[in-house]
Structure 1
Amino acid sequence: MRAAASAHPRLSAAEFERWYWLKEELVAFCRVLRLPTSGGKVAIARRIAAHLDGTTAPHVALVPRRSATMPSVFHLDTQIGEDWRCSQPLRAFFEQHCGSGFRFNEAMRTFIASRAGCTLRDAIAHYHANKYAQPDTIAAQFEYNHHVRDYRAAHPDAAHAEVVPAWREKRSHPRCDESVRE
């Protein structure tokens, strides 16, 4: 963790929000502060900021997940079920049919989550049709993805080997823009 942004209970909320945090850092800080560690990165960061400000973060009721029954073996004609997860066995199936570069991108995650009854063959067609489509927005918790998009826009010929060190350098300093991405 960065020395300048070390998580400690006397850190002000304003100073806390100036830095980029990994979810694992936020969870560790929650444990130090004896705060709940559940939820996504944005919810955890808000909980910490509220605590550091001396206020109470809104309580988020946990919604129990239904246990989705997924087949142990997938086929092209397997129908996507309700509440399926983007699991490692499902990833292995898609890698077998789409290549080793397969990723559960936003389009695929949305397709799997919302298209129960469609086949995995349909999902593969959807993947190929949307493989290179850029999402309109990147959710706030994906700060690294924001960095990659912005860096590549500013440096179109940059290799990935340049993007990663630039991210590490960026994380070592407070945010330039005082506002936190919403």
Structure 2
Amino acid sequence: MIERPVLDKHLDSKTFRDFYYLKEELIDFCRKNGLPVSGGKLEIADRIAYFLETGRILSAGAGKKKAAIISSITEDTEIEADFVCSERHRAFFKEHIGNSFSFNVAFQKWLKGNSGKTYKEAISAYYQILEDKKKGKLKIDRQFEYNTYIRDFFADNKGRPLEEAIRCWKYKKQLPGHNRYERSDLSAL
């Protein structure tokens, strides 16, 4: 097994992309090398890969637009462009959906991708997302590699304990290449 290389400024970008690093490790690298630390894991990883390739610092997403301010939200209000989750939005959804409401990732993506639709449509979409989640139809975003791996491990190994899934994950993330579950990962057990 090839050992995962230490993340430092002498690493080439291809090798960096071949291995799994925690977001905390990426942020630590950025701080030590003067790179911006804002953004999600994928954005930070892209920034590091660019730095490793070119030696230049890529600035954080410049000029994020401010969300339009609406005075009151009703079911007929249209979802604003550049939607930002706020306490006003949370209060609206809790009033119409109940205290169990939360801005889950899938719903946030739906809101950000459906400006111009109504909040009534958003409420319906929320319930559909919950239903899809129960049926296992939701796709887990790329930055949640661990969650995807564990889900796929259990889909292929019903009844096996979480400890085994985690042991296989730890083995897999030390290997170069992708971090998706494969049956051959069971060799770590």
Per the shorter chain, which TM-score range?
0.5 to 0.7
In 1, the alpha carbon distance for the partners of 2:65 and 2:109 equals: 18
For residues 73 and 65 of structure 1, the distance between their equivalents in structure 2, rounded to whole angstroms, comes to 23
Q: Distance in 1 between matches of 2:153 and 2:31?
A: 33
| Cα distance, 1:73 vs structure 2 | 5.9
**Which AA in structure 2 matches 1:154?**
D
Aligned to 2:123: 124
- Compute the TM-score of the two structures, normalised by the length of structure 2: 0.64
- Secondary structure of the 1:131 match is helix
2:42 match = 42
* Contact residue 47 and residue 56 of structure 1 kept, 8 A: no
**Aligned pairs for 1:23-62 within 5 A:** 23-52=23-52, 55-56=54-55, 59=58, 62=61
Q: Determine if contact 2:145/2:179 at 8 Å carries over to the other structure.
A: no
Question: Cα RMSD (Å) of the superposition?
Answer: 3.8
1:27-176 matches, within 5 Å, as 27-52=27-52, 55-56=54-55, 59=58, 62-71=61-70, 74-96=73-95, 97-100=97-100, 102-106=102-106, 108-133=107-132, 134-135=137-138, 137-157=139-159, 162=162, 166-167=165-166, 170-171=169-170, 174-176=173-175
CA gap of 1:167–1:100, structure 2 versus 1, over 3 A, is farther
Aligned length: 172
- Distance (Å, rounded) in 2 between the aligned partners of 1:88 and 1:144: 30
Deviation at 1:149, TM superposition (A): 2.5
Partner amino acid, structure 1, of 2:142: A
TM (normalized to structure 1)? 0.66
Kindly state the Cα deviation for residue 150 of structure 1 after the two structures are TM-superposed: 1.4
Alpha carbons 1:18, 1:174 under 8 Å: kept: no
Q: How much identity, in percent, do the aligned residues show?
A: 32
How far, CA to CA, are the matches of 2:165 and 2:78 in structure 1? 43
